[in-house]
Amino acid sequence: MLITFCGRQPLAILYPHFCFLLYASRNLDHSHIMRCALIVVLCLGPLHAQDEEKKKDSQKEEITKATHQDSVTIDGKKIEYRATAANLLLKNSKDENRASIFHVSYERLGIKDRSKRPVMFAFNGGPGSSAVWLHLGALGPRIVPTTEDGTQTLPPPNAVVENPHSILDLVDLVFIDPVSTGFSRTAGDTKAGEFHSVNGDIKSVGDFIRRWVSENDRWASPKLLLGESYGGIRAAGLSEHLQNEHGMTLNGVVMLSSLLDFRTLRTQRGDDLSYQIFLPAMAGISHYHKKVAGDRNELVEKARAYAHGDYAKALLKGAAISKDEKTAVAENLAKFTGLPAGLFLETSLRLSPTRYRKELLRSEGKVIGRFDARTAWPAISRDSDYAGYDPSYSVVYGAFATGMNDYLSRTLNWQGHHPYKILTGDVHPWDWNSNNRVLNMSSPLENALRENPNLRVLVMVGYGDFATPASGMQYSVDHLFRIPEARRKAIEYAWYEAGHMFYLNQPDLEKMRLDLVKFINN
The pTM assigned to this predicted structure is: 0.88
Alpha-carbon torsion 341, 344, 349, 354, what sign? negative
Alpha-carbon torsion 317, 281, 390, 512, what sign? negative
- Say if CB 191 and CB 87 are below 8 A apart: no
Q: How many CA atoms lie within 13 A of 95 on its CB side?
A: 1
CA 78/CA 488 separation, integer angstroms: 38
Burial class (CB in 10 A: 0-12, 13-18, 19+), 318: exposed
- Say if CB 110 and CB 170 are below 8 A apart: no
CA 312/CA 319 separation, integer angstroms: 14
CA 97/CA 90 separation, integer angstroms: 6
CA 420/CA 405 separation, integer angstroms: 7
CA 131/CA 124 separation, integer angstroms: 5
Per-residue pLDDT of the chain (522 residues; tens, 9 = 90+): 333 333 333 434 333 443 433 334 444 454 554 554 444 444 445 544 554 554 444 444 455 899 999 999 999 999 999 999 999 999 998 999 999 999 999 999 999 999 999 999 999 999 999 999 999 999 999 999 999 999 988 899 989 999 999 999 999 999 999 999 999 999 989 999 999 999 999 999 999 999 999 999 999 999 999 999 999 999 999 999 999 999 999 999 999 999 999 999 988 788 999 999 999 999 999 999 999 999 999 999 999 999 999 999 999 999 999 999 999 999 999 999 999 999 999 999 999 999 999 999 999 999 999 999 999 999 998 778 888 899 999 999 999 999 999 999 999 999 878 899 999 999 999 999 877 688 999 999 999 999 999 999 999 999 999 999 999 999 999 999 999 999 999 999 999 999 999 999 999 999 999 999 999 998
Burial class (CB in 10 A: 0-12, 13-18, 19+), 160: buried
- Say if CB 235 and CB 203 are below 8 A apart: no
DSSP string, 47-93: HHHHHHHHHHHHH-----EEEEEEEEEETTEEEEEEEEEEEEEEE-T
